[in-house]
Amino acid sequence: MSLINVLDLIGTFVFAISGTLAAREKKLDIFGAIFVASVTAIGGGTTRDSILGATPVFWIMDPNYLIIITVAVAFSVLFKKIVAQLRTTLFLFDTLGIGVFTFIGTQKAMLLGVPPVICIVMGTFTAVLGGVIRDTLCNDVPLIFREEIYATACLVGGSVFVILHQFNIDDTICTWTCITTVIGIRLLAIKYHLTLPKLD
């Protein structure tokens, strides 16, 4: 199991916790929580794979994803207070998660021979669409359409990956530059409250 696999599962775990927190706010039951946690964690990659025709989608043949998500929901429910105190830690792992998801999605599209600009979109979809579906299911306008820079960090990170790849840079360097670019931009955005211009 590679480091990227481990980070992927960590990202899945943290995204599932964020889904559980949204489910709690809407007073859903345990099944509702597992469902919302699942779409948050794997909804982005599922949409990516459906659009690309990379079916069965990634979690069908690898039940580990659903197991991780169930464990994450159980953890959030059993250790409610601890999770509430972990806000900063969760934020950091969420940031790590979008970095890793951006890389995984961009790379998967590239391996399928998709044009570079669409690879970047697929990477961003992987990272952000789960949250979009979570908010839509919970009857909110998706948060990332209004909050601090989030998807933009993924778009930039994916672009960096694609550009470095065009110059035949070593894969490991492409990967980590992509992930750290996403993380760096997201952390700066939060620190300095950077937002995209709103339409008015």
Candidates 14, 16, 17, 132: give the one binding a copy of itself (CB under 8 A). 132
Q: Which stretch binds a copy of itself (CB under 8 A): 6-14, 135-143, 167-175, 186-194?
A: 135-143
CA distance 100 to 95: 9
Q: Which stretch binds a copy of itself (CB under 8 A): 1-9, 129-137, 168-176, 186-194?
A: 129-137
CA distance 101 to 124: 8
Q: Which amino acid is at 145?
A: F
The per-residue b/e assignment along 118-143, b for 16 or more CB within 10 angstroms, e otherwise, is bbbbbbbbbbbbbbbbbbebbeeebe
Candidates 9, 74, 77, 187: give the one binding a copy of itself (CB under 8 A). 77
| C-beta closer to a copy of itself: residue 55 or 166 | 55
The per-residue b/e assignment along 68-104, b for 16 or more CB within 10 angstroms, e otherwise, is bbeebbebbeeeeeebeeeeeebeebbbbbbbbbbbb
| C-beta closer to a copy of itself: residue 11 or 131 | 131
- Contact footprint for a copy of itself (CB under 8 A): 20, 23-24, 26-33, 35-36, 46, 50-53, 55-57, 59-61, 63, 66, 77, 112, 114-115, 117-118, 121, 132, 136-142, 144-146, 150-152, 195-200
